Structure 1
Amino acid sequence: MAVIKLFHELLLLRKNQWKSKKQIKELQNVKLKELLVVAYRNSAYYKELFHQAGITEQNIKNVALSDLPTIDKTTLLERFDEVITVSDLTQEEMRAFDKEETISKKILKDNYHIVHSSGSTGMPSYFLYDEAAWHQMLLGIIRGALWNMSLPQMIKLLIKGPRIAYLAATDGRYGGVMAVSDGIEGLNAKEIQLDINQPTKEWIKK
């Protein structure tokens, strides 16, 4: 993210804090309906699921949130390739990319950011973001980090480059560490990964 572009987008997001509760709910509802249409048009699994629930593209924007069908992790893993809304990627390709490439290689097929869960309940779940979705997610994280700062403070920080400490597991493509790594780059800061199992003198060398 270029700093000027980032700052402009942060300002646009900050305007949402002045919206009324009703306006925020209306905005959330609009975004949800847009997402449902994307899922209906591009996910074979969700289109099938919606049809089973009597939901069509014509009435999907009028369906109550409580009437939407749900999905569990087992189904997601078993039918992943039908669930996702892109046709040029499979779960097998994502797992192969994660297994064969180090986390320093962040993007698959020049477009997809891949992250996964810890797999504490069995097989890890994988999640993918295209560049636009990843950018929006990072913007939300950065907004949260800078939320209580005044505009002059934000400008000064973004120009100078912040110093950030973040503790996380780095032995996989976990969402937190991958997002923070890219977010740090977006804030014009330098990233240094330090192993907490190493003595501090090793940190100093870095």
Structure 2
Amino acid sequence: MATIFDAWQFGSASWAVASATHARPEAIDALQRQRLAALLEVVRDRSSFYRDRFKGLPAGPEALLELQPVHRRELMDRFDEWVCDPDLKLEELRHFTADHRNIGEPYLGRYLVWESSGTSGSPGIFVQDAHCMALYDALEGQRRSAVRLAQRLFDPLGLGERIAFVGVTDGHFASYVTVERLRRLQPWMASSVRSFSILQPQEALLAQLQDFSPTVIASYPSAAAMLGQEVAGQRLCLPALREIWTGGETLSAVARHRLEQQLGAVLRNSYGSSEFLAMGWECRAGRMHLNSDWVLLEPVDEHQRPLPPGEPSASVWLTHLGNTVQPLIRYDLGDHVRFVPEACPCGCALPVIEVQGRRDDTLRVAGVNGRPVPLLPLALSTVLEECVGLFDFQICQKDDQTLILRLPMTGEEGRRALAQARTVLTEYARSQGAQPIRVLGELGIRVPRGRSGKSCRILS
């Protein structure tokens, strides 16, 4: 089967990535400016959407500082004006992605296509050419730190691995499309790289995973947490598992530690999105480095003002320096990121970031002073994770004094967890100045997942 791969492009991208991985900060800054200038030249010439946006702005990279941010819905509404290849038409791409038989197939013989999950409210369609895929391959291959270095040295082709991707397998989502592409690029791995649907009945998923006995599981943190609970409850046995690869959702330090303990494996987290597949990677010191030689992230507050390192952002604006077919320039990604001001002990000059991803809803409950009190989703998740040990849950707000907590557990285990959760949630709300709240419980309910398999744990 055909797929998107160009050996020359991959070699060129690999050299560029390798040479910048340990470059000095000023060299990385120079690469950014050079690639930004080249990108702006292309979009001014080929994208009528961006040509309009840049009208009246300076010609060089300085124009970026004056450009207003763009949003996904706006870009999708003007898709045919946005892209730089006139052969790309939104309606034709939608028809292409409507057919699941096309997952991983090249579109027009030269593009890989995937959909976004729509967790930010507006689903999108993203196309990648051979250059873009070569860049992602090089970033993953050169910078993702090997968990078992000796194993990688003696088995560079991964012939001794059994890799299980646990996610959604009936849509054109980036993670699944790239797994299918890998199977086609490396047919000798086709039998040892398998995908398992997270949306099938849980009993069937557990049976399939146990039969496959993976050495590596790649999934979302919430899905991995579910598997960890099943292993802890002795309903799933994964004796060969050595590594867990997570991404796509927020991963707290507590959840990470619990996953490694339950699954008996080392976890490596990454940062990516439908817009840029390989934005961040973890070094051996456990820090997340941004691939800033190829992607610019500008953290901003709720008023769209730039933030200095050390301050958590309300959102970030993304500029993709490697995609000249479907350019993303000052694109409002919606993620919450903090740039760490301290240098990383690993010695790499690429920026260190802390990622909270796209948060769930902020709940607003009645306050004792008559004003609504916001309950932040990160805080609610933290108290349940750290105080109760709950990682697979959903909180839904019924009214300004009532929350509904849904747990997949049943029986005495579920009742005990619900009682503990009710205590910590009501106490946390009281500490924030809220009137007394009620926490209703619903047991035996699996956490709902979106089209891409991501969970939404806190809903207003």
Tell me which interval the TM-score lies in, with the shorter structure as reference length: 0.7 to 0.9
Deviation (angstroms), 1:126: 0.7
Q: Partner letter of residue 158 of structure 1? A: P
Deviation (angstroms), 1:137: 1.8
Structure 1: runs of 5+ lacking an equivalent: none
Pick closer, same or farther for the CA change 1:167–1:194 going to 2, 3 Å.
Answer: closer
In 2, distance between residues paired with 1:32 and 1:46?
14
Q: Percent identity?
A: 21
SS of aligned partner of 1:110: coil
SS of aligned partner of 2:109: coil
In 2, distance between residues paired with 1:87 and 1:71?
21
In 2, distance between residues paired with 1:105 and 1:9?
22
- Compare the two structures and name the one with the higher strand fraction: 2
Q: Partner letter of residue 135 of structure 1? A: A
Structure 2: runs of 5+ lacking an equivalent: 214-460
2:155 corresponds in structure 1 to: 157
SS of aligned partner of 2:101: coil
1:19 corresponds in structure 2 to: 23
In 1, distance between residues paired with 2:166 and 2:17?
27
2:54 corresponds in structure 1 to: 50
2:176 corresponds in structure 1 to: 177
Q: Is the 8 A contact 2:169 2:176 kept in 1?
A: yes
Deviation (angstroms), 1:121: 4.4
1:113 corresponds in structure 2 to: 112
Q: Is the 8 A contact 1:138 1:183 kept in 2?
A: no
> Which sits farther off after the overlay, 111-120 or 121-130?
121-130
1:85 corresponds in structure 2 to: 84
Deviation (angstroms), 1:85: 0.8
2:73 corresponds in structure 1 to: 74
Pick closer, same or farther for the CA change 1:12–1:143 going to 2, 3 Å.
Answer: same
In 1, distance between residues paired with 2:175 and 2:61?
35
Deviation (angstroms), 1:62: 4.4
Say whether residues 1:189 and 2:193 are aligned partners: no
Q: Aligned residues, how many? A: 200
In 2, distance between residues paired with 1:108 and 1:17?
32
Pick closer, same or farther for the CA change 1:86–1:125 going to 2, 3 Å.
Answer: same
Q: Partner letter of residue 20 of structure 2? A: N
Q: Is the 8 A contact 2:13 2:134 kept in 1?
A: no
Deviation (angstroms), 1:155: 5.2
1:125 corresponds in structure 2 to: 124
Q: TM-score, normalised by structure 2?
A: 0.38
Q: Is the 8 A contact 2:115 2:173 kept in 1?
A: yes
Q: Partner letter of residue 30 of structure 1? A: Q
1:166 corresponds in structure 2 to: 165
Greater relative contact order (CA < 8 Å, ≥ 6 in sequence): 1
Q: Is the 8 A contact 2:104 2:178 kept in 1?
A: no
Pick closer, same or farther for the CA change 1:193–1:85 going to 2, 3 Å.
Answer: same
In 2, distance between residues paired with 1:50 and 1:101?
38
Deviations 1:55-99 (A, max 9, x none): 3xxx42242532123211221121111001111111111110001
- Compare the two structures and name the one with the higher helix fraction: 1
> Which sits farther off after the overlay, 140-149 or 168-177?
140-149
Q: Is the 8 A contact 2:49 2:82 kept in 1?
A: yes
Pick closer, same or farther for the CA change 1:65–1:160 going to 2, 3 Å.
Answer: same
In 1, distance between residues paired with 2:182 and 2:33?
28
Deviation (angstroms), 1:134: 1.8
SS of aligned partner of 2:171: coil
In 1, distance between residues paired with 2:66 and 2:14?
34
Pick closer, same or farther for the CA change 1:67–1:2 going to 2, 3 Å.
Answer: closer
CA-atom RMSD, angstroms? 3.4
SS of aligned partner of 2:167: coil
Q: Is the 8 A contact 1:44 1:82 kept in 2?
A: yes
In 1, distance between residues paired with 2:45 and 2:95?
28
Q: Is the 8 A contact 2:33 2:61 kept in 1?
A: no
In 1, distance between residues paired with 2:168 and 2:178?
13
In 2, distance between residues paired with 1:39 and 1:178?
27
In terms of Rg, which structure is larger?
2
